[in-house]
Amino acid sequence: MGRKILLEHIDVPGIKTFDVYRANKGYSAVEKALKTMSPDEVIEEVKKSGLRGRGGAGFPTGLKWSFLDRKTNNPRYLVCNADESEPGTFKDRYLIDHIPHLLIEGLIVSSYALGCNATFVYVRGEFKTQIGILEQAVAEARKAGFLGKNILGTNYSLEIYVHSGAGAYICGEETALLESLEGKRGNPRIKPPFPAVKGLYDCPTVVNNVETLAAVGPIINMGGPEYAKIGIGRSTGTKLISACGNINKPGVYEIELGLPVSEFLFSEEYCGGIKGGKQLKAVIPGGSSVPVLPAKLITTTAAGEPRLMSYESLAEGGFVSGTMMGSGGFIVYDADACMVRSTWNFSRFYHHESCGQCSPCREGTGWMEKVLHRIENGHGRQEDIDLLVSIAAKIEGNTICPLGDAAAWPVASAIRHFREEFEFHVNYPELVRDPKHQPISKLAQVHV
């Protein structure tokens, strides 16, 4: 049984409320930080923990905090990115739904460390229920003296504001989020300057996601070095994984980083194997924006070593035979899944969600969607496959924000590993245009 840190008390009845959370040692990290530690000491503990951003980039959190401009006389801000929009990812929403005070506690400790007196939680617009839950948790914390002026009798004051977005995936990118928070169109900013120097309202700003900030309280309670003992190498601590697709037990799981991928997929403690006893075909391990890997490469590296649930192991082999941890959105495909249809579906999403600011992304995502639609519906041409690869290569690395990369990688990796499926769609259009459109494995059987 893997160690639980974020979800340790998730099944305690009433843990969503302040009183029950407090009775289970909740807000003890706030007391410890504000009464016995300096802000720099809190940052140092987070550095020692090795905590990396859990929103996708995996950048060391303590190091990111240390970049915050402390020389200016302007206010500093902490912004929590709760705009969880990545297809296949739903672990931040799960935390907010079930144990919101864990996030509020992390926000208070993090804000104290950064010298922030105003903190914003930017929540995806569709999360109406979760917005209400957070507002209730903030009100309870304020009533108990953990927010407002002179918290716990100290000279530290803090207000937390819950802000609703409007349902734009692009606002998951930190600078687009800041633009939206300021009341502007959510277009990503050119960097530099980085938010740590010039962020919200042109003031020094740190942006972290829900899971990252929720981990800060436990780290302060247990100590950074103790947290760093969990996991493997530079992938320390635990990670929440949103598991979905063709598995027996979809849901949110907390794993110790370094767990073998095969154990996560097939053990009863986690995914419980492939639904219906079918064969595993492929996995996208980090949400829809990371490269897909076929069964063989998701369970073992190209060198034949077991693939682990860690930032380094999943990335081993680069994008030729590796992928990314990303946001931890584990999308699992069985042998009957059609990779062409899946890739087209993702391309539709990225075309729709592109802000249109950069022409490679604005035009390229539309081209990829149209070409994939043509292939999926039995009108594809052989040259379309290489055309897709070419378009993806022209988008990647040529946009202001990573949405262009996020749109290109799934297409390029699907063709790299499942080219025969794309060719089958092109070569046997009469089967693909069948209204029932049987899964690719059954199409092949019909052909044979």
Assess whether pLDDT exceeds 50 at residue 446: no
Instruction: Please report how many Cα atoms fall inside a 13 Å half-sphere around the Cα of residue 437, on the Cβ side.
Output: 14
Q: Which helix (H) or strand (E) holds 388?
A: helix 382-395
Average pLDDT, the chain: 94
pLDDT of 329: 95
Find the mean pLDDT for residues 410-423: 96
End-to-end CA distance of the chain: 45
DSSP 9-26: TTTSTTTTSHHHHHHTTT
pLDDT of 88: 93
Find the mean pLDDT for residues 284-303: 94
Assess whether pLDDT exceeds 90 at residue 309: yes
Q: Which CATH code fits 339-447?
A: 1.20.1440.230
Name the β-bridge partners of 161.
Answer: 120
Find the mean pLDDT for residues 421-428: 94
Q: Give yes or no on whether 237-334 and 339-447 have one common fold.
A: no
Find the mean pLDDT for residues 115-132: 96
- Whether 205 and 211 have beta carbons less than 8 Å apart is answered as no
- Whether 101 and 217 have beta carbons less than 8 Å apart is answered as no
- Whether 265 and 296 have beta carbons less than 8 Å apart is answered as no
Model pTM above 0.85: yes
CATH architecture, domain defined by 237-334:
Roll (3.10)
Assess whether pLDDT exceeds 50 at residue 363: yes
**What digits encode the pLDDT tens for the residues 145-158?**
999 999 999 999 99
> How large is the C-alpha radius of gyration of the chain?
23
CA 366 to chain centre: 24
**What digits encode the pLDDT tens for the residues 34-57?**
999 999 999 999 999 999 999 888
Q: Where are the domains of the chain?
A: 18-226, 237-334, 339-447
Name the β-bridge partners of 78.
Answer: 119, 206
**What digits encode the pLDDT tens for the residues 13-26?**
999 999 999 999 99
Nearest CA among 202, 214, 222 for reference residue 110? 214
Assess whether pLDDT exceeds 90 at residue 440: no
CATH superfamily of 18-226: NADH-ubiquinone oxidoreductase 51kDa subunit (3.40.50.11540)
CB atoms within 10 A of CB 285: 27
**What digits encode the pLDDT tens for the residues 197-216?**
999 999 999 999 999 999 99
pLDDT of 448: 33
